[in-house]
């Protein structure tokens, strides 16, 4: 393929803009939560995989955490198992959990591994069970009952929350050319298996390895102010005040809270980015503009 002098100049300009970022993030860990359109659209899947392979190649340590909601839903449907949701979380009994584990740890995980390998990387597919990486406990949800003044506690089955992360296998991957791809399944001390929200797992892993960045791929442009204008950079204080004023609410709240917790827990910055844009991860990491909202603990 021949390129014109103009195209060659543009390529050179892009590479020189990327250089300081590559130098700054060499040897640093970047945790990416992979989901939404980026995970279902064919062209976006390939651009995501190539971003991750390039990051590894220039010396960064990407770690991928993925969900798989739509795929779980369709297999449960085929098997005639009906799903209930409480506050956006799937109520998981043991039959549902078997399917969740098959889909997340098997189908979806190996699809992503394959995708990265086909684009020249060496991916290592894991669940939180491997090397006892993700320790979990049962998640109890409180929600105010209309009939009672006190909140009722809802047991949502085998849905869990992270209690601790064993980073040993992640450290091994960082020292090698392996890219970990992690399904959000954990176990407790009795060996019970739990389905955990992938955003929360990504946040917990980013905190455990003191990552440079936590990147959450979403189907929105990024965080917006009350007038719908994109906010490219925010401090943790800004985000807290937006939550208290109700500017951030609904389905976006848990994602933002997860980003906020990670930043407060030692992760340098968290990014809510638009996964509908090709090469969203690279654009966020290697360019001045980025494609979403960066949240850090200081104004900069």
What does 137-184 look like in DSSP terms, one character per residue?
A: EEEEEEEE-SS-SSEEEEEEEEEEEEEEE--HHHHHHHHTTEEEEEE-
* Domain 32-296, CATH class in plain words: alpha beta
* Residues 52, 281 contacting (CB under 8 angstroms): yes
Give the model's pLDDT for residue 247.
Answer: 82
Strand order from edge to edge, sheet including 233-235: 122-127, 178-183, 61-66, 29-34, 213-218, 269-274, 292-296, 233-235
Instruction: Give me the sign of the Cα torsion angle 180, 186, 188, 193.
Output: negative
Contacts of 75 (CB under 8 A, 6+ apart): 99, 102, 103
* Residues 221, 277 contacting (CB under 8 angstroms): no
The enclosing H or E element of 268 equals none
Closest CA to 134 of 91, 157, 86, 168: 168
Give the model's pLDDT for residue 300.
Answer: 45
Q: Can you read off the two tokens belonging to residue 132?
A: 């006892």
What CA–CA distances, in Å, run from 67 to 184, 197, 279? 7, 8, 19
* Residues 255, 262 contacting (CB under 8 angstroms): no
Task: Report, as an integer, the average pLDDT of 288-298.
Answer: 86
Distance CA 21, CA 54 (A): 13
What CA–CA distances, in Å, run from 22 to 10, 61, 226, 294? 18, 12, 34, 18
Which ranges in 58-93 belong to alpha helices (H)? 69-78
Mean pLDDT of the chain: 90
Percent of the chain with pLDDT over 70: 96
- 217, pLDDT greater than 90: yes
- 206, pLDDT greater than 80: yes
Task: Report, as an integer, the average pLDDT of 62-83.
Answer: 89
Give the model's pLDDT for residue 145.
Answer: 65
* Residues 125, 181 contacting (CB under 8 angstroms): yes
What's the pLDDT band for 87 if we cut at 50, 70, 90?
A: confident
Of 140 and 59, more confident: 59
**What's the predicted TM-score (pTM) here?**
0.91
């Amino acid at each position: 393929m021949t390129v014109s002098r103009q195209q060659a100049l543009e390529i050179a300009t892009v590479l020189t803009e990327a250089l300081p970022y590559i130098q700054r993030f060499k040897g640093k860990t970047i945790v990416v939560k992979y989901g939404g359109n980026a995970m279902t659209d064919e062209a976006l899947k390939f651009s995501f995989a190539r971003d991750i392979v390039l990051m590894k190649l220039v010396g960064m340590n990407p770690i991928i955490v993925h969900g798989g909601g739509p795929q779980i839903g369709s297999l449960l449907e085929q098997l005639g198992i009906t799903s209930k949701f409480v506050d956006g979380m799937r109520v998981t009994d043991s039959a549902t959990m078997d399917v969740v584990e098959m889909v997340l740890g098997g189908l979806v995980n190996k699809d992503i591994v394959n995708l990265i390998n086909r684009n020249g990387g060496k991916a290592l597919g894991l669940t939180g069970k491997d090397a006892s990486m993700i320790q979990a406990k049962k998640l109890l949800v409180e929600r105010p009952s209309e009939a009672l003044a006190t909140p009722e506690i809802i047991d949502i089955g085998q849905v869990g929350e992270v209690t601790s992360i064993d980073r040993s296998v992640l450290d091994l991957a960082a020292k090698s050319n392996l890219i970990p791809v992690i399904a959000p399944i954990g176990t407790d001390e009795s060996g019970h298996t739990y389905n955990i929200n992938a955003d929360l797992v990504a946040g917990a892993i980013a905190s455990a390895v003191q990552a440079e960045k936590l990147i959450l791929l979403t189907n929105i442009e990024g965080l917006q102010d009350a007038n719908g204008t994109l906010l490219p950079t925010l401090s943790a204080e800004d985000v807290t005040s937006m939550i208290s004023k109700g500017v951030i609410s609904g389905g976006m709240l848990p994602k933002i809270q997860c980003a906020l917790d990670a930043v407060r827990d030692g992760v340098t910055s968290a990014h809510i980015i638009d996964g509908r844009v090709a090469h969203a991860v690279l654009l966020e990491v290697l360019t001045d503009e980025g494609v979403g909202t960066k949240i850090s603990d200081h104004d900069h």
